[in-house]
């Protein structure tokens, strides 16, 4: 049956598709030097789609549409808005990257993967979920290997594809076993089957482990993180930024929905596993970050560590836990996009991305240095930035659920984090360029970069100071899980 | 009739062979072949579970068809990436594609 709710439940996806088709039609008529305007079109279109969805497409009572394929609730809606914002920011950051910004298909691929992410956030059926995950991944493989003449980029795309295809095969095997055991693929009906069912704890644990391989790859938790640093370093930097934020958040959206809704019955067996994985992820991620000399690899390993922090909220398996994960992801998307944006703006002018090369940035472009400081302090978890509040909520959820040791590991790791984030800022603020003539080597910002970075920096500060409304929205989203 | 467990054991064996291929083969195309084997094992699982479960529900069959379609798309992109790596490096041996590490 097709009702207005059916249409509203996929309104953002429909708008994204319309936008993609529009770009597909318009772009060939532009001259080569105008092609970058597709970035303005993409970002503007996505912001318009967000506004339209907010005005007309707000979910009411959680319902299921399309024969149980799509769940229309605040959890999915909030994540959709986050992804679309991240997509708009990424489109603007694409524009002045000369390898990728002049090509209309880059924006199309971005929109295609965004479509997949939106569907990931609302999938209520394993078939839909698999399709959405692949819709997200396949365009991202292409985007990672987008710079055809660049050895690192093609290698990054290739590695990402191999790891992605392998882990998704594991996850799919898990899905097929779930289908076999429960006789249904609907996430909201799995819970009945698993509660009433005859499934032993061991079998359930095996199936969950298979599924966790696929989702662990998406959110890059240890030991499924090997691809992350290589891909982030090789891929075009705007794509790395998108991978480390929206793609990771989409993985968490699925993880939260799947584990909170479908398998609460087997909580004891998997929360402890996830807690151990979370502790290992934070520790390994942070220790490996310590020895990085390339800023993109540093951000890659730090994003692995951040997946570990966010996982604490999933482990807590409470309403506060879900709220804190969602809040953490919102803050993290803004912060990490800002960090990658600053690196992009810097590397575009200088052509280098080693940490050493950032020496004297505060004299070459004070505003860029200031925004980098905001991003890195937020990543380190310092007030008054978003990262601080997000960490507080996640740790609070952990303590509330009785995982004090895990929170302790998290706090120790945050302190390690402060060291390497501030180490980068040391180069930016205290060190000078080798011959001390920063005035002759300015780092100008083009308009798309300036707008995006300013908006993101304001967002990072806003989410850290006026956090009550954000927390309210996250809470409303988390409430639909219970 | 052949019991369901035979199909499941067969699928598990196929999955393991595919995984072994992915982990042990050095040629990129052979790795992709291994992944295809793993996905086919999933399809056997789905078809068997459908046949031995409620045959009026088409979920298993539809799922298998979707897996086919997605696997084809994935391999198309995979081979394209292998070609682009080959043009840059003149090799498709995974061990030699090692610029990015640590």
Give the angle A237-A235-A238 at the CA atoms, nearest 5°.
25
Distances (CA, A) of A301 to A233, A284, A295, A380: 11, 9, 10, 13
What's the gap in Å between the CA of A154 and the closest CA on chain B?
6
Distances (CA, A) of A450 to A126, A152, A330, A477, B89: 41, 28, 21, 32, 37
* Cβ–Cβ gap B42/A184 under 8 Å: no
Q: What percent of chain A has pLDDT over 90?
A: 72
pLDDT band at A96 (very low <50, low <70, confident <90, very high): confident
Cβ-based interface (< 8 Å): residues of A facing B: 126-127, 130-131, 134, 138, 141-142, 145, 148-152, 154-159, 161-162, 165-166, 169-170, 172-173, 175-177, 179-180, 183-185, 229-231, 233-234
Phi, psi of A220 (to 5 degrees): 50, 60
A14 Cβ contact partners less than 8 Å away, ≥ 6 residues apart: A7
Residues in chain A with CB shorter than 8 Å from the CB of B94 are: 162
Residues in chain A with CB shorter than 8 Å from the CB of B73 are: 134, 138
Of A192-201, A296-305, A384-393, B27-36, the one with minimum mean pLDDT is A192-201
Mean pLDDT of chain A: 91
Residue B102 has pLDDT above 60, yes or no: no
Average pLDDT value for residue range A456-482: 91
Average pLDDT value for residue range A122-151: 94
Of A338, A303, A296, nearest to A455 (Cα)? A338
* Cβ–Cβ gap A152/B100 under 8 Å: yes
Residue A197 has pLDDT above 70, yes or no: no
Q: Which CATH number fits domain B4-93: 1.10.287.3510, 3.40.50.300, 1.10.3720.10, 3.40.1350.10?
A: 1.10.287.3510
Beta partners for residue B2, in sequence order: none
Q: What does the alpha-carbon distance between residue A239 and residue A57 come to, in Å, rounded to a whole number?
A: 29
Of A75-79, A136-140, A308-312, A438-442, the one with minimum mean pLDDT is A438-442
Give the angle B37-B42-B43 at the CA atoms, nearest 5°.
95
- Residue environment code for A218-243, b if the CB has 16+ CB neighbours within 10 A, otherwise e: bbbbbebbebbbbbbbbbbbbbbbbb
- The pTM of the full predicted model, rounded to 2 decimals, is 0.95
Average pLDDT value for residue range A144-172: 93
Question: Alpha helices of A317-446 — where are they, by DSSP H?
Answer: 319-350, 361-364, 366-380, 386-400, 404-429
| H or E stretch covering A481 | none
**Burial class of residue A154 (count of CB atoms within 10 Å of its CB; 0-12, 13-18, 19+):** buried
Average pLDDT value for residue range A133-141: 96
Q: Which two tokens stand for residue B85?
A: 């790596």
pLDDT tens-digit series, residues A373-417: 999 999 999 988 999 999 999 999 999 999 999 999 999 999 999
Average pLDDT value for residue range A143-165: 92
pLDDT tens-digit series, residues A101-134: 888 899 999 999 999 999 999 999 999 999 999 9
Rg of chain A on CA atoms, in Å: 21
Residue A441 has pLDDT above 60, yes or no: yes
Phi, psi of A47 (to 5 degrees): -65, -40
What's the gap in Å between the CA of B1 and the closest CA on chain A?
18
What's the gap in Å between the CA of B51 and the closest CA on chain A?
10
The pLDDT assigned to A1 comes to 63
pLDDT band at B58 (very low <50, low <70, confident <90, very high): confident
Average pLDDT value for residue range A8-16: 93
Domain extents for chain B?
4-93
3-state SS assignment for residue A224: coil
What's the gap in Å between the CA of A363 and the closest CA on chain B?
31
Q: What percent of chain A has pLDDT over 70?
A: 99
ipTM value of the model? 0.96
Residue A201 has pLDDT above 90, yes or no: no
The pLDDT assigned to A435 comes to 81
* Cβ–Cβ gap B81/A233 under 8 Å: no
Q: Give the mutation candidate from B77, B83, B95 for the A interface (greatest A CB count, under 10 A).
A: B77
Q: What does the alpha-carbon distance between residue A114 and residue B82 come to, in Å, rounded to a whole number?
A: 25
| H or E stretch covering A63 | strand A63-65
Identity of the residue in B67, B73, B82 whose CB atom sits nearest the CB atom of A138 = B73
Beta-carbon pairs below 8 A across chains A and B: 119
The pLDDT assigned to A196 comes to 62
Question: Alpha helices of A96-226 — where are they, by DSSP H?
Answer: 104-122, 126-144, 151-182, 187-196, 201-219
């Amino acid at each position: 049956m097709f009702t207005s709710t059916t249409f509203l439940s996929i309104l953002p996806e429909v708008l994204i598709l319309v936008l993609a088709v529009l770009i597909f039609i318009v772009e060939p008529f532009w001259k080569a030097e105008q092609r970058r305007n597709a970035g303005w079109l993409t970002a503007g279109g996505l912001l318009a789609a967000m506004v339209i969805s907010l005005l007309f497409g707000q979910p009411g009572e959680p319902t299921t549409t399309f024969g149980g394929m799509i769940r229309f609730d605040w959890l999915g809606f909030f994540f959709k808005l986050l992804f679309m914002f991240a997509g708009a920011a990424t489109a603007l950051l694409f524009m002045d990257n000369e390898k990728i910004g002049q090509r209309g298909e880059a924006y199309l691929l971005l929109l295609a993967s965004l479509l997949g992410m939106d569907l990931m956030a609302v999938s209520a059926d394993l078939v839909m979920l698999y399709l959405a995950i692949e819709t997200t991944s396949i365009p991202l493989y292409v985007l990672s290997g987008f710079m055809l003449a660049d050895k690192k980029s093609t290698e990054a795309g290739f590695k990402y594809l191999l790891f992605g295809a392998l882990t998704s095969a594991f996850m799919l095997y898990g899905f097929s076993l779930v289908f076999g055991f429960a006789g249904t693929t609907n996430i909201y009906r799995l819970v009945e089957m698993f509660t009433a069912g005859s499934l032993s704890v061991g079998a359930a644990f095996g199936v969950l482990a298979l599924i966790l391989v696929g989702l662990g790859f998406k959110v890059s938790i240890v030991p499924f993180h090997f691809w992350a640093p290589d891909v982030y370093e090789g891929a075009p930097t705007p794509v790395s930024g998108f991978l480390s934020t929206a793609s990771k958040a989409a993985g968490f959206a699925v993880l939260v929905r799947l584990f909170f809704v479908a398998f609460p019955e087997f909580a004891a067996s998997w929360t402890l596993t996830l807690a151990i994985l979370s502790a290992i992820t934070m520790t390994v991620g942070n220790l490996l970050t310590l020895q990085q000399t390339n800023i993109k690899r540093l951000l890659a390993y730090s994003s692995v560590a951040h997946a570990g922090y966010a996982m604490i909220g999933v482990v807590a398996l409470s309403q506060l836990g879900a709220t804190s994960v969602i809040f953490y992801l919102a803050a993290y998307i803004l912060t990490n996009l800002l960090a990658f944006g600053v690196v992009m703006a810097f590397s575009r002018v200088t052509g280098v991305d080693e940490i050493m090369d950032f020496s004297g940035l505060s004299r070459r472009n004070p505003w860029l240095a200031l925004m980098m400081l905001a991003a890195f302090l937020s990543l380190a978890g310092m007030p008054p930035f978003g990262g601080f509040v997000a960490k507080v909520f996640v740790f609070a959820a952990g303590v509330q659920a009785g995982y004090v040791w895990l929170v302790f590991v998290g706090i120790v790791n945050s302190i390690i984090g402060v060291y390497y984030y501030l180490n980068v800022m040391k180069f930016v603020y205290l060190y000078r360029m080798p011959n001390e003539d920063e005035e002759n080597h300015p780092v100008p910002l083009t308009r798309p970069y300036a707008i995006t970075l300013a908006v993101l920096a304001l967002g990072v500060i806003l989410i850290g100071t006026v956090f009550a409304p954000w927390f309210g929205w996250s809470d409303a989203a988390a409430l639909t899980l219970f | 009739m052949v019991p369901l467990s035979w199909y499941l054991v067969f699928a598990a064996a196929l999955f393991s062979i595919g995984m072994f291929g992915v982990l042990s083969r050095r040629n990129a195309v052979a790795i992709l072949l291994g992944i295809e084997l793993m996905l086919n094992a999933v399809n056997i699982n789905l078809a068997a579970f459908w046949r031995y479960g409620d045959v009026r529900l088409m979920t298993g069959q539809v799922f298998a068809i979707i897996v086919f379609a997605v696997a084809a798309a994935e391999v198309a992109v995979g081979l394209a990436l292998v070609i682009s790596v080959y043009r840059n490096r003149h090799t498709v041996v995974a061990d030699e594609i090692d610029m990015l590490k640590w």
